[in-house]
Amino acid sequence: MERHLFEADHDAFRETARAFCDKEIVPHHESWEEAGIVPRELWTAAGDAGLLGFMIPQEYGGGGARDFRFNTVVIEEITKARASGPGFSIHADLVSGYLLDYATEEQKQRWLPKFCSGETITAIAMTEPGAGSDLQGIQTTAIRDGDHYVLNGQKTFISNGILADLVIVVAKTDPAAGYQGISLLVVERGMDGFERGRNLDKIGLKAQDTSELFFDDVRVPAANLLGEEGKGFIYLMEKLPQERLTIAVVAAAACEGMLETTLRYVKERTAFGRPIGSFQNSRFVLAELATETQIARVFVDRCIEELNAGKLTVSDAAMAKWWTTELQKKVADRCLQLFGGYGFMTEYPIAKAYLDTRIQTIYGGTTEIMKEIIGRTMGI
């Protein structure tokens, strides 16, 4: 089934993104996996190519195209290139929205130009060692003291944690006020008392830096408050659907990619004198995965349209998130199996895809939390 989502501009942008992946990412990814991180130069190159700031108004150095289809193009090309290292998505698909919608004019001028150029790498830090699913349970505090907030606490599992120059930190400015006491503060590289932990060793996403962040009496200028004090939780609720859809976009593209790779393999690999794809079991497995991938594709594309139209509900995003990522897990598992012993060898792309896949049902809100959200919308 043909996709109806894109127009000529998106197709052109896709060419740019694909060329960038081919040239700047693919040849180096393996060495980045060993390093556990990508180089800063990759980010500035991406900035030059227009892949980081396309959604930012031109006045701040961006492309002026706030249309999630452009985000989709980049996500898809990166996913198809199996480039799980570069944390562009956190920056361009998540943080961008917070800065565009909640930053003041002054903040925009201060942050956005380098956001677009890739000189400033961003992150968003919600999760703490003791609170992930339960965001209201965070314990990081930011107590107002004159023109500053004094920030104390610890975050963990922060994507781009090592590279980030600018981190949106979720903290309690009024610890007694429950979710209404939560605010967003922008912490910048170099502020006193802001330290990073080690780069965590993960099952997959080997070239992506994920780390702990420590805040010890960090004096964050009040001018770095994002939006209004006490509205942080509401902002998160507003932005989480887009984050979840982003993950679903990755999932759909990953399924397509794995399926393609596997289809090629089962046509070539033989056993018992026949291509292994010709065994009825293989055919049925692949037919099943192809069906569900196609269905995911149609649904995700539809969700992108809804998002662009400002109509993607919290529940729809949750549906897209859990279903496509659980599908991705299934596709990864079934495809790996079709590779036999080779599937277990990390030099095979399907093995890496399998490893990268496992986080998808966890971050951005677990499958369980998604079902809670949907259930609540249904009134139960």
Ligand X SMILES: Cc1cc2nc3c(=O)[nH]c(=O)nc-3n(C[C@H](O)[C@H](O)[C@H](O)COP(=O)(O)OP(=O)(O)OC[C@H]3O[C@@H](n4cnc5c(N)ncnc54)[C@H](O)[C@@H]3O)c2cc1C
Q: Is 34 in the site for a copy of itself (CB under 8 A)?
A: no
Stretch near ligand X under the rule CB under 6 A, chosen from 15-23, 219-227, 271-279, 309-317: 271-279
Q: Is 334 in the site for a copy of itself (CB under 8 A)?
A: no
Instruction: Give the distance, in angstroms, between the CA of residue 84 and the centroid of all CA atoms in the same chain.
Output: 10
Active-site residue, from 24, 33, 243, 256: 243
- Separation CA 24–CA 232 (nearest Å): 36
Stretch near a copy of itself under the rule CB under 8 A, chosen from 138-146, 234-242, 245-253, 271-279: 271-279
Q: Is 362 in the site for ligand X (CB under 6 A)?
A: yes
DSSP output for 217-265: EEEEEGGGEESSTT-HHHHHHHHHHHHHHHHHHHHHHHHHHHHHHHHHH
Q: Are 116 and 58 in contact (CB under 8 A)?
A: no
The angle that helices 105-117 and 40-48 make with each other, rounded to 10 degrees, is 100
Q: Which is nearer to a copy of itself, 190 or 280 (CB)?
A: 280
Q: Which residues of 211-236 are buried (b: 16+ CB within 10 A; e: fewer)?
A: bbbbbeebebeeebbbbebbbbbebb
Interface with ligand X (CB under 6 A), residue from 107, 117, 242, 337: 337
Task: Tell me which residue of 21, 52, 55, 15 sits closest to 307, measured CA to CA.
Answer: 55
Stretch near a copy of itself under the rule CB under 8 A, chosen from 18-26, 113-121, 214-222, 273-281: 273-281
Q: Is 265 in the site for a copy of itself (CB under 8 A)?
A: no
Site for ligand X in 45-84 (CB under 6 A): none
Give 178's DSSP letter: G
Q: Is 137 in the site for a copy of itself (CB under 8 A)?
A: yes
Q: Are 339 and 267 in contact (CB under 8 A)?
A: no
Q: Is 369 in the site for ligand X (CB under 6 A)?
A: yes
Specify whether 238 is catalytic. Answer: no
Binding site for ligand X (CB under 6 A): 90, 123-127, 132-133, 157-159, 202, 205, 210, 269, 271-272, 276, 279, 281-282, 337-338, 340-342, 344, 359, 362-363, 365-366, 368-369, 372
